[in-house]
Amino acid sequence: MSSADLAGFGWGPLQAQELAATDYKGARPARVLDLHRSVLHVAAPGYDARLPLPLKPDHGPVTVGDWVLIDESGQRIIHLFERCSVFRRRAPGTDRSEQLLAANVDTLFVVSSCNQDFNEARLERYLAVGRDAGAMCLIVLTKADVCENAGEYLRRASRLAPGLMVEAVNALDNSSLNSLDAWLGSGQTIALLGSSGVGKSTLTNSLLGAAHIETQAVRTDDDKGRHTTTARQMYRLPRGAWVIDTPGMRELQLVDVQSGLDDVFAEIAKYSKECRFGDCSHETEPGCAVLAAVESGSIDGDRIRRWRKLVREEEHNRESVAERRARDKSTGKFYKSVISENQRRKGRN
C-alpha cells in the first residue's frame, strides 16, 4: 500500500515518518471512521473492517479521524499514531474527564445560522477550541436564504477573530456551497461543529449529494434544534475530502486552550503585554492597558466580558482531578476543624 493511495484517506508526512520508525512488519495503517461503544469502524484502500477497541492504546483513547496500525491478520489494532490535531472537551459528569471529539482535522467548519441561534460568545468558544487544536477555522452561516439581512450576520461573525473567514450559504442549494470548494480537496478532513438545529447534518447531506444523515426541523418559536446527529462519523465526499459531523453541542466546556483564547482574542493579548503587572487579571488593577483600551474604545467591552468568562472556565477545567480532590479534601478538613473548635467553645461555656 503506497503513501499515494493512503493520501486519499488523509495520510500525511507525519504519519509516514512515524510508520517508518516502527518495527511492525506486515502491518497496515487504517483510519478510524466511526466509533460505537467498544467497536471501531476502520478503513484504508482495499480494507474495511470493524474491530474491537484496543484496551490500552499507546497515545490514549481512540477517536474518529485517528490513524491506527492493524496487524497482519487484519483483526487487531496494535498502534495508535500521534495526531496532527485533536479536538476535545470536558465530558459531562462529576469526574470532569476529557472527551475527544475528532482527530487529524485540517479545517473546522464552525456552523451557525442566520437567526436567533447566532451567538458571538458560543462562536468564540468554538473558535478557541479549533485554533488551539491547530486547525484552519471557517465560520459557515447557514439559512442565509431565509434571512432578511445575512450581511449583518457576516459582519458580526467576521469581527470575532483576526483573519477569520466567513461564508454564508443555503445548505439546501448545492450551487450555494461552491464557496466551500477550496477546503474540500482530496484527502482533506473537515469537521463540523455547532449547536443543534443550525443545519450541520443538512450541510453534510448537501456536500455528500444525498440524504445520508437524518435531519429534523427546528422549533419555530425560538429556532432551537433537536439533536439529530448522536455520534461522530466520517463521510467521504464526492471530490475526495472527508467530513466529520458531530453531535450538536450548545455547551462546549473548554480545557487547555489558552493559546486558542489568545488567538481569538488577539487584541486583548496584545494590550496585556503593556500592563504594569505581569499577572494582571484586567479587572481593577492600576496600570492595566487592557482596561485603558476598553475605556478608549479600542477593545469592545462585550468582548472583554466574554473573554473573562472563558478564561475563568478554562482555568477551572485545567485543574486535574487529583488537584481538585486534594483541594476539596483540604477544604473539608478546615471546615471540620472549625466546627469542632466551635463545639468545644460551646462546651466550655
* pLDDT score of 228: 44
Q: Is the pLDDT of residue 154 over 80?
A: yes
| Cα dihedral across residues 164, 138, 92, 120: positive or negative | positive
**78, 132, 147, 181, 250 from 47: Cα distances, Å:** 16, 33, 45, 28, 36
pLDDT in tens, 16-53: 999 998 888 889 999 999 988 788 999 999 999 999 88
Q: How many CB atoms neighbour CB 326 within 10 A?
A: 12
Q: How confident is the model at residue 56 (pLDDT cuts 50, 70, 90)?
A: low
Q: What string of DSSP letters covers 154-223?
A: HHHHHTSSTT-EEEE--TT-GGGGGGGGGG--TT-EEEEE--TTSSHHHHHHHHHTS--S---PPPTTT-
CA of residue 317 relative to chain centroid, distance: 15
CA–CA distance, 265 with 120 (Å, rounded to integer)? 12
CA–CA distance, 112 with 117 (Å, rounded to integer)? 7
Q: Is the pLDDT of residue 58 over 90?
A: no
Torsion of CA 66, 72, 75, 76, to 10 degrees: -60
* Averaged pLDDT score across all residues of the chain: 82
Mean predicted confidence (pLDDT) in 120-146: 91
* pLDDT score of 330: 59
Q: How confident is the model at residue 245 (pLDDT cuts 50, 70, 90)?
A: confident
CA–CA distance, 262 with 115 (Å, rounded to integer)? 28
SS3 for 37? coil
Where along the chain do its domains lie?
3-80, 86-245, 265-318
* pLDDT score of 251: 54
pTM of the predicted model as reported, rounded to 2 decimal places: 0.79
Q: Is the pLDDT of residue 218 over 80?
A: no
Percent residues over pLDDT 90 in the chain: 45
The architecture that CATH gives domain 3-80 is Roll (2.30)
* pLDDT score of 213: 52
CA–CA distance, 85 with 273 (Å, rounded to integer)? 28
pLDDT in tens, 256-290: 788 889 999 999 999 999 999 988 999 989 999 99
Torsion of CA 309, 153, 104, 184, to 10 degrees: 180
The architecture that CATH gives domain 265-318 is Orthogonal Bundle (1.10)
Domain 86-245 -> CATH class: alpha beta
Q: Is the pLDDT of residue 345 over 80?
A: no
CA–CA distance, 107 with 235 (Å, rounded to integer)? 15
Using an 8 Å Cβ cutoff, are 189 and 240 in contact? no
Q: Is the pLDDT of residue 134 over 70?
A: yes
The CA-based angle 161-166-172, given to 5 degrees, is: 150
User: Which range, of 209-218, 220-229, 257-266, 301-310, averages the lowest pLDDT?
Assistant: 220-229
* pLDDT score of 217: 44
Q: Is the pLDDT of residue 215 over 70?
A: no
